Structure 1
Amino acid sequence: MKESKAIDADRLGRVQSLVRAFGILDELGAANGMTLSELAHLVGLPKSTAHRLLTTMETLEYVQFDRETCHWSVGVGAFRTGSAFAQTSSLEKVGRGIMRSLVLEVNHSVNLCVPRSHAIFYLKQVEPRGGWPTAAREGVSLPMYSTAAGKAIMACWTENELDAYFEKRELVQRTHRTIGNRDSMRRELGMILERGYAIDDEEQADGTRCVASVLTDRIGQPRGALSISDASSRLKQAHFSDIGPIVASAAKRISLQVSHIG
């Protein structure tokens, strides 16, 4: 019983620290910079507690400290998070119309995908009338390496980014077609980069095929992917060379419009 209470108290303490940290970020976001005393007063914390939270957040780059003025302000980590949200919102807003047009053109489900915790998250899906449900559906996260959308993004990574990904993740065989070898995956990513689109030929799930192309920001960095998916009986291998360039063209239109918004 005592151990259970101790665990509950620890959890409550962590949640409380998280709430306090977000409160600090809110106050810093509304100002150009504040001293420790000013910030502690605004959030209603002892200076020692506020300073402990700030130093932790500084390590994570969510806040920064100017040692000349002794002012704290929002850091680059918070900016990256906010930029990612703005980028995702823009992708969804701009992509909606192009996705609908693409559905009419190819008669397959069209997906807007974004990376999330080294997986690929299906943010939005537009289905054709009488569409066939697949594993690639709105609100689902799937592995990067076994999906066309994920591989389209991975193809744009640097060698260091790929090495870091491979060090932490095993390429588990999802089906008998999944690429489970790192060297084979590197060759596959090279081909994707060259032709402009990626293919999932029943690599994520038996009976499902996908074609995808990367979505980039104004400086060419990968921010998501546009993909089409369908049952293998409807999306034939022979169609890849025709559909791939169509998806790539639609992805470029979305990327161009988003870069103008940003």
Structure 2
Amino acid sequence: MARSGQPAQEGGRNPYLLASLHRGLEVLDCFATRNSWGLADLASHLGQSKPTIFRVLHTLEQFGYITKEAASGRYVPGLRLHALGSAAVRHEQLRWQALPPLQDLAESTGETVHVGILHDGVIVTVQIVEGTRAVRMHSSVGKRSPAHASALGKVLMAYLPDAEVDAVVAAHGLTRFTARTITTPEALRETLHRVRLDGYAQDEEEIEVGLRCLSAPITDHAGRPTAALAISAPASRMDPERVTALIPQVKATALRISRMLGSPSMVAA
């Protein structure tokens, strides 16, 4: 029988499983049940040799995930592991606290609304409420979108240092999806500057012809834009007059979520 937390395998060994990474994750899992471990106790608990577990512990220590206490010689969670845990808690808090405001906005507009974060240079949807219209934008939690072509991405990149924006572009490029997609660094910089001034961003059929989005930043307890809210609809329902009417609603909903997360103010308000 597989150890608790071990991925189930059918028909023998999983050919895609990295054994060394698997051992490292097993070691990290142990710190969820006990705050500190000695080398011998941990090796015995996992049924592995002490040299094998020592190498795993040494690697994790080098990257800051665990720390060895000088006085006791025992291993405890490191700052990097705490940071990962805190990030996970923040994202879950964002996901569920954003839900009631998203529901209200979806109900009042009839359009699909969603929240996303910038992760590894792409936008990841973390919460969504679909609209009530027969023709509407469909999405799902976990969906990944190109940052340069999405309203969510433009909002979040607008508040990054130039060097970080350049790193995103270097890693992912500026792929053309439609005739309206931004494909040059110069055009992207100009757009991000305008987003900072306006406090909102638009996707004007830049990922998919016929789909438009409007987005505003969500700020954390320190007032930093760490997520974004967007409303998406067919282009036929997003003419300039309606976009103008939706901007204050989208900003107000983003501000409401920010306040719920403890933000002192909306940076772009």
TM-score of the superposed pair, with normalisation by structure 1: 0.86
Asked whether the equivalents of residues 197 and 245 of structure 1 are also in contact (C-alpha less than 8 Å), the reply is no
Q: In the alignment, residue 181 of structure 2 is paired with which amino acid?
A: T
Q: For residues 112 and 9 of structure 1, what CA distance do their matches in structure 2 show? A: 39
User: Partner of 2:247 in structure 1?
Assistant: 244
Q: How does 1:53-92 map to 2 (within 5 A)?
A: 53-67=56-70, 69-92=72-95
Verify the 8 A CA contact 1:228 1:247 in the aligned structure 2.
yes
Partner of 1:232: 235
Residue 107 of structure 2 contacts residue 132 of structure 2 at CA under 8 Å; is this kept in 1? no
CA contact (8 A) 2:121 2:172 kept: no
Q: Distance in 1 between matches of 2:118 and 2:203?
A: 17
Per-residue deviation, 1:10: 9.9
Report 1:1-262 matches (<5 A): 11=15, 14-67=17-70, 69-134=72-137, 137-139=139-141, 140-259=143-262
1:26–1:131 CA distance, 2 compared to 1 (3 A): same
Higher relative contact order, chain-length normalized (CA < 8 Å, sep 6+): 1
Compute the displacement of 1:117 (Å): 3.3
The Cα shift of 1:122 comes to 2.2
Decide whether the 8 Å contact of 1:29 with 1:73 is kept in 2.
no
Deviation at 1:116, TM superposition (A): 3.5
Once the two structures are superposed, what CA deviation does each residue of 1:160-213 show, in whole Å capped at 9, x if it has no partner? 321221221210111111111112111211211221111111111111100011
Aligned-partner Cα distance in 2 for 1:92–1:11? 34
Q: Once structures 1 and 2 are overlaid, which stretch shifts more, 26-35 or 145-154?
A: 26-35
Aligned partners of 2:111 and 2:133 also within 8 Å: no
Q: Secondary structure at the match of 1:209?
A: strand
Provide Cα deviations, 1:69-128, integer angstroms capped at 9, x if missing partner: 433221233223222221221122111111111123323211122333322122332223
Greater fraction helix: 1
Q: The residue matched to 1:213 in structure 2 has which SS? A: strand
Report if the CA contact (8 A) 1:155-1:189 is conserved: yes
Equivalent residue of 2:84, what SS?
helix
Indicate how the Cα distance of structure 1 residues 47 and 56 shifts in structure 2: closer, same or farther if over 3 A, else same.
Answer: same
Runs of 5+ unmatched residues, structure 2: 1-11, 264-269
**What SS does the corresponding residue of 2:140 show, helix, strand or coil?**
coil
Structure 1 gaps of 5+ residues are 1-7
